[in-house]
Structure 1
Amino acid sequence: MTTPHRTAVIGLGSMGYGIAQSCLAAGHMTFGYDINPDQAARFVTEGGTPGALSEVAGALDAVIVVVLNAAQTENVLFGPEGVVPHLHKGAVVMACATVPPEFARQMEACCGEVGVHYLDAPISGGSIKAAEGALSVMASGTPDAFAAAAEVLKATATTVFELGDQAGPGSAMKAVNQLLAGVHIATMAEALTFGMTQGVDPAQFVEVISKCAGSSWMLENRAPHIVAGDYTPHSSVNIWPKDLGIVLDIAKSASFSAPITAAALQQFVAAAGMGLGGEDDAAVAKVYARNAQLTLPGDET
């Protein structure tokens, strides 16, 4: 049985909005906040509870932070209008952005100083699974943090990996995941466009390779966007310079060479430089297409 919580989701992008919808569907009183007021207003029309964050913070049981990076996470928690000082003792912050492990440990310590639990909880699964409450969460934190977040985890995820009893391991695992995910997207784009130079139609590429050993989850999920010529952002190009940059920063601190990650990063940087930062990350294929003078589906005219 679900125990209704007062939950705020801060950051109503494609992932955060789905998380807010899942909390609402699970019966939680859910508040949604975003720098885009239209997103917050839209959520209210769908059943979200209205109210300024400053006015409701003291009554919240959980705050789910689904913003872009460490700087935004810290601002949401401890900035000029930060929420943590207003939370009651025993409330929990579930932090979902991809951040360095050391940053997660710092936020855990700062929250702990005022009696607020912090769950290092990076997420994976995409916007569709977020809306279905079917995410995977790579979580680490104290047993009390897991207990405080149990109801929102049940509402938003089908798989919760408990990776440690303090913040940090969750973010470390997310960095490993993002290394693979970013490389797989870039490699998919390279393979699809390479195939085009040999007369392989993109739709045929998806049909065949998705059933062969060279496939990956990212290929099966992203390559159809290229075939459709639809770059509506479910996960944007702009995410990857940040996330792969974090991977390389962590690698540098560990004296670890990650040359394949660095090569993939440069393709996303190039895509952003082409003005594609706000498009779906499958648009990295346009970098290869430009360089090889290929015409991708949807660009025939």
Structure 2
Amino acid sequence: MRSVVFGEDGILAGLKTGGILVDHTTASATIAREIAEACAKQGCGFVDAPVSGGQAGAENGQLTIMCGSNDSATFDAIEPIIAAYAKRSKLLGTAGSGQLAKMVNQICIAGIAQGLSEALNFAMRAGLDPDDVVDVISKGAAQSWQMENRAKTMVRNEFEFGFAVEWMRKDLGICFDEASRNGAQLPMTEMVDKFYAEVVAMGGKRWDTSSLIARLTD
């Protein structure tokens, strides 16, 4: 990340005064603040803007984008542009805030994916049709994006798509680093990360994050 931005032939080397760098990668809040400071010294704007919604969200213009910037006018300038591929974007605070919000997002997904894996495995072992169960409970309090978009493929052991386990583990590592700084406890997330390590050992490093169920059904 630093070489791409700060390198001799990096982004800042070619960014003209008055330009705006929008970073859609998922990285630490620390590096977002470093880039924001460097951009400011160069007379440029910066927005850290990690995304959620996966490949389908990107292809269909339905991404959710969490943004951080030290200048609200900078966000206002780029908002109409990112609206072309996002259904929702929001400025959440100063530089690094977008990355912090993405960490919150990934922590939520880890827990939901594990809970859904356990629930679907339970349903199948209880002799229920998981598709029928999901059809009912997805209309109630258990509903989630993961249930709506991943339950059918999970019970069929289809994982060759979506957001890869190795990428999720990278993101969770960023969460753990930040938690060590702010004092947040992440016991469930740490447990799920260990489960993802088991999925990697099964050969699933490029499987979708919903592949947690494979640990339970194999």
TM-score, L = length of structure 2: 0.90
Contact (CA 8 Å) 1:188, 1:219: kept in 2 or not? yes
Quick check: 1:109 aligned with 2:37?
A: yes
RMSD over equivalenced CA pairs, Å: 1.9
State which of 140, 145, 163 in structure 1 corresponds to 2:92.
Answer: 163
Q: Is 1:271 aligned to 2:214, yes or no?
A: no
> Is the alpha carbon distance of 1:213 and 1:147 closer, same or farther for their aligned partners in structure 2, counting shifts above 3 Å?
closer
Structure 1 residue 139 corresponds to structure 2 residue 38: no
Q: 1:134 to 1:78 in 2, by over 3 A?
A: same
Q: Secondary structure at the match of 1:245?
A: helix
Give me the whole-angstrom Cα distance separating, in 2, the residues matched to 1:125 and 1:177.
11
Question: The residue matched to 2:84 in structure 1 has which SS?
Answer: helix
**What corresponds to 2:54 in structure 1?**
126
Unaligned 5+ segments in structure 1 are 1-72, 291-301
Once the two structures are superposed, the pairs formed by residues 47-62 of structure 1 within 5 Å of their partners are none
Cα separation, 2, equivalents of 1:82 and 1:289? 46
Alignment partner, residue 175 of structure 1: 103
> How far 1:147 moved relative to its partner?
3.9
**Cα distance, 1:148–1:75 mapped onto 2, change above 3 Å:** farther
* Per-residue deviation, 1:228: 4.3
1:132–1:156 CA contact under 8 A, matched in 2: yes
Three-state SS of the structure 1 residue aligned to 2:88 is strand
Number of equivalent positions: 217
Q: Any residues of structure 2 matched to 1:224-263 within 5 Å, and which?
A: 224-263=152-191
Is the 8 Å Cα contact of residues 84 and 116 (structure 1) preserved in structure 2?
A: no
The letter of the residue matching 1:150 is E
Contact 1:89 1:115 survives alignment (8 Å): yes
Please state whether the residue corresponding to 1:155 is helix, strand or coil.
coil
1:186 touches 1:284 (CA, 8 Å); kept in 2? yes
Quick one: which amino acid aligns to residue 88 of structure 1? K
What's the counterpart of residue 288 of structure 1? 216
CA contact (8 A) 1:138 1:162 kept: yes
Aligned to 1:6: none
Residue 77 (structure 1) aligned with residue 5 (structure 2): yes
Q: 2:20 maps to which residue?
A: 92
What pairs up with 1:16-55 in 2 under 5 angstroms? none
Distance 2:23 2:16 in 1: 17
Q: What's 1:212 paired with? A: 140
Question: Which residue is equivalent to 2:129?
Answer: 201
Q: Does residue 81 of structure 2 align to residue 152 of structure 1? A: yes
The amino acid of 2:90's aligned partner reads: F
- Quote the sequence identity (%): 31
Higher relative contact order (CA 8 A, sep 6+): 2
Which SS does the other structure have where 2:115 is aligned? Answer: helix
Distance of aligned partners of 1:146 and 1:194 in 2 relative to their CA distance in 1, 3 Å threshold: same
DSSP 3-state at the match of 2:64: strand
The answer to whether the Cα contact below 8 Å between 1:91 and 1:148 also exists between their aligned partners in 2 is no
Q: 1:81 to 1:274 in 2, by over 3 A?
A: farther
Q: Is residue 191 of structure 1 aligned with residue 119 of structure 2?
A: yes
| 3-state SS of 1:238 partner | helix
Are the aligned partners of 2:7 and 2:13 in contact in 1 as well (CA < 8 Å)? no
Q: Is contact 1:117-1:148 (8 Å) kept?
A: no
Partner residue of 2:151 out of 223, 226, 229:
223
Query: Any conservation in 2 of the 1:233–1:281 contact (CA below 8 Å)?
Result: no
